[in-house]
Amino acid sequence: MPAIEDTAKPASSGPAIILVEPQLGENIGMVARAMANFGLSELRLVNPRDGWPSEKARAAASRADHVIDATKVFDDLASAVSDLNFVFATTARERDGFKPVRGPVEAGRALRARAEAGLRTGILFGRERFGLYNDEVGLADEIVTFPVDPGFSSLNIAQAVLLMSYEWMKSGLAEETQTNFSGPELAPATKEQLHSLFAYLEGALEARGYFRPEEKKPKMVDNLRAVLTRAGFAEPELKVLRGIISSLDRFSPAMPRGDGSPGDDPRRLPAAARSRVKDEES
């Protein structure tokens, strides 16, 4: 199929989010915030009940001002989708008709594939109280619905927009398990490193008479090694463990190596120094 020049856009242009007759400015703002979190920026409103611009929307958008500022208002749904090539309608209820029904994961991928082909896409969301009329759903190509509990189906528009924005973002990840940051690479240490810990620990325990009676020592050693093997500790973790054992090895009530006071340990910190680093978000 030849490229359609008028509608060609940058490759990963996200879907426009189209709210049909939204009622509350707060909800519009929450929609903008949800979009911005997942990289969407094009918000369209069809006949917002309380008019536009809306200070309540801006306040609820929590710094997503770029979305609020670029929001466009239309008199009717047909005008709002006129420049788009492909449109999803969100609905919680089964409709008669010929439209394919997708889940959000599938819909996210369908939108991504069309965006990468240079097509413009959009997603329709209905009114807070009763969603979209059938003739409005009729203006869409396909339906997307969320796998909610049939016993409690009550997503508001900002929640529905959040889920679709999230699936849009996910559809662009190289792998589903990709995250913005990752934990340390914790490959299991080599057996030599592990066995070195065994030797150190078993020596310290031997010195304290842990392996008694003597005939049980082989079984006790087996158990101890099994416990320390199953976790698959990485090298940095083995170092933490060695430090712990080393610290315990220095003091014992019966045979203190210093004067027996914890104050001797230079690594002991006052309680007030406990690290409480703040996080921006949960």
The helices-and-strands tally (H runs, E runs) of the chain is 10, 7
The verdict on 178 binding its own copies (CB under 8 A) reads yes
**Secondary structure class of 2 (helix, strand, coil):** coil
For the chain, give the longest Cα–Cα distance: 89
Nearest CB to its own copies, comparing residues 29 and 201 = 29
Q: Which residues in 94-123 contact its own copies (CB under 8 A)?
A: 94, 97-103, 105-106
Q: Which of 236, 243, 256, 260 binds its own copies (CB under 8 A)?
A: 236
Q: Distance of CA 46 to CAs 21, 75, 78, 136, Å?
A: 5, 6, 9, 11
Nearest CB to its own copies, comparing residues 33 and 112 = 33
Instruction: Convert residues 124-163 into a mask of x (bound to its own copies by CB under 8 A) and - (unbound).
Output: xxxxx-xxxxxx-------x-xxxxxx-xxxxxx-xx-xx
Q: Which residues in 15-74 contact its own copies (CB under 8 A)?
A: 20, 33-34, 36-39, 62-64
**Secondary structure class of 56 (helix, strand, coil):** helix
Q: Which residues in 190-229 contact its own copies (CB under 8 A)?
A: none
Nearest CB to its own copies, comparing residues 39 and 260 = 39
Token pair, residue 201, equals 């620990």
Number of residues that bind its own copies (CB under 8 A): 78
Token pair, residue 122, equals 């959009």
The verdict on 243 binding its own copies (CB under 8 A) reads no
Residues 6+ away with beta carbon under 8 Å from 96 = none
The verdict on 184 binding its own copies (CB under 8 A) reads yes
If you count them, how many residues does the chain have?
A: 282
Nearest CB to its own copies, comparing residues 76 and 206 = 76
Q: How far is the CB of 171 from its own copies (least distance, A)?
A: 11
- State the virtual CA torsion across 174, 176, 179, 182 in degrees, nearest 10: -100
Q: How far is the CB of 271 from its own copies (least distance, A)?
A: 12
Token pair, residue 271, equals 């309680």
Q: How far apart are CA 176 and CA 246, in angstroms?
A: 42
Nearest CB to its own copies, comparing residues 114 and 127 = 127
